[in-house]
Amino acid sequence: MALRKLVAGNWKMNGSLAALAELDAIAVAAGAHAGIDVLVCPPFTLIPAAVARAPDLIFGGQDCHHAARGAHTGCVAAGMLKEIGAAYVIVGHSERRADQHETDADVQAKARAAIAAGLIAIVCVGETEAQRDAGHAGIVVSNHLDGSVPPEATEVTLVISYEPIWAIGTGRTPSLADVAEIHAIIRAKLIDLLGRAGERVRIVYGGSVKPENAADILSVADVDGVLVGGASLTADQFVPIVEAAAAAIG
Ligand SMILES: O=C(CO)COP(=O)(O)O
């Protein structure tokens, strides 16, 4: 089933007020291709200025807390993101699972908070290189989904991002056959967990997506978009990926 494609940029802990100038050309490209969703997830501090600069683009956060408010120094609630104009939030990125020791249960709680606040949760899953070498990529991803997907999620409130950890920031990507295999496993698991809604939840791929490989990756069955790190930081790199997604829908 062809779902609406999502091209998302995760700026991670990069960017500055000056870097928001990159949004101008990204917004032009997004405006020219109304059939796809173009999302940028800058650091929290830049979101209000990003929304002001490019009001027609879609913005998201890179994390949220599982609670709606309270004594959680340094954290940001999903409702706070919503209030400043975010529509999405990434939860369970492998960098947070590693650096902040987030578990599947934590990720599920964050996704539930995001959905309750009216955001779309992008839940990240993916295996390490050792797990892939051991032949466990499929089961690792399945287990992440079992633990992290909120039962109330629908195609409107959830996106899954398959990000093999060994492909993030390395310039290495799985073969297209490997991407297809894992996305098919994710699709089957989503249907198992969410019923008919699972057929329509978008599954995006992340990990060293570049202008050079975007068209190939976007041509794979059940790849409903991409989550781009390094190549989302400049319009020079990100716009061609947006164009590749637009070309993929014809
Ligand atoms: O982690 C990623 C997106 O969330 C991918 O990062 P890179 O595109 O830099 O490999």
Q: 138 CB under 6 A from ligand 1?
A: no
Distance in angstroms (rounded) separating the CA atoms of residues 220 and 225: 10
Residue nearest to atom 2 of ligand 1 (CA): 229
Residue 193 inside a domain? The answer is: yes
| pLDDT recorded at residue 250 | 74
CATH for 107: 3.20.20.70
Q: Is residue 134 part of a domain?
A: yes
Ligand 1 atom at minimum distance from 12 CA:
4
How high is the pLDDT of residue 70?
98
DSSP string across 30-63: HHH-TTSEEEEE--GGGHHHHHHH-TTSEEEES-
233 lines ligand 1 (CB under 6 A): no
What is the Å distance from ligand 1's center to 168 Cα?
5
Say whether 11 counts as a known binding-site residue.
yes
Does some domain include residue 1?
no
Helix (H, G, I), strand (E, B) or coil at 239: helix
Check residue 77 and report its DSSP letter: B
Nearest protein Cα to ligand 1, atom 3:
229
- Please state the domain count of the chain: 1
Is 47 within a domain? yes
Mean pLDDT of successive 10-residue stretches along the chain, which has 250 residues: 94 98 98 97 98 98 98 98 98 98 98 98 98 98 98 98 98 98 98 98 98 98 98 98 94
**Is 94 among the annotated ligand-binding positions?**
no
Q: What pLDDT is attached to residue 218?
A: 98
Does residue 52 lie in a domain region? yes
| Ligand-binding site membership of 250 (annotated) | no
227 CB within 6 A, ligand 1: yes
pLDDT of residue 121: 99
Say whether pTM exceeds 0.90.
yes
User: What distance in angstroms lies between residue 70's CA and the mean position of ligand 1's atoms?
Assistant: 31
Which of the residues are catalytic? 93, 163
Domain ranges, residue 111? 6-209+227-248
* Residue 125 is assigned to a structural domain of this protein: yes
CB-ligand 1 contact for 39 (6 Å cutoff): no
Residue 221 inside a domain? The answer is no
Q: Is residue 222 part of a domain?
A: no
Instruction: Give residue 20's pLDDT.
Output: 98
12 is in an annotated binding site: yes
165 lines ligand 1 (CB under 6 A): no
State how beta strands 225-228 and 58-61 pair. Answer: unpaired
CB 14 within 8 A of CB 41: no
